[in-house]
Amino acid sequence: MKEVIFVGNSRAEVAEFPKAARQEAGRQLFLVQLGADPHDWKPMPIIGTGVKEIRVHLGGEFRVIYVAKLKTAIYVLHAFQKKHQKTSQGAIELARQRFKQIEQE
C-alpha cells in the first residue's frame, strides 16, 4: 500500500474540512492507496500528468488534488472548499507549484 504524503500545508487544508467531508476525503484517499479510483474524481491535466481531483459533496463542495502515478507514494497537492463552478486559478497554480516541487525531488 502506498504511503500518503501531504505536500506543503495540504494536511492542514484537509483538516479544515467539516468532519463528514474530511472523513469522506480520507475514505477516498484510502481507496487510492488500495489501487482503486475514488468514487467521484476527474483528471486535472492542467496541473500535471497523472494529477486527479477527488470531489466530495458533503456540506458543501470540497476538493482534494493528488497524484498517485509515482511508484513510491500518493502526494496530496492541495485541498480546498470549492465555492464556484470553475476551479480558481489560484488553486490550480498552487497545486501546479507543489506538483513541480515533488517532480524535482
Q: What is the CATH number of the domain that holds 54?
A: 3.30.2310.20
Q: Mark residue 69 as left, alpha or beta (left: phi above 0; alpha: psi -120 to 50; beta: remaining).
A: alpha
Over residues 31-79, the pLDDT tens digits come to: 999 999 999 999 999 999 999 999 999 989 999 999 997 777 999 999 9
Confirm if 7 and 95 have CB atoms less than 8 A apart.
no
CA angle 61, 66, 68 (to 5 degrees): 140
Residue 85 structural domain: 3-104
pTM comes to 0.94
What integer pLDDT is reported at residue 105 of this predicted model?
76
Structural domain count of the chain? 1
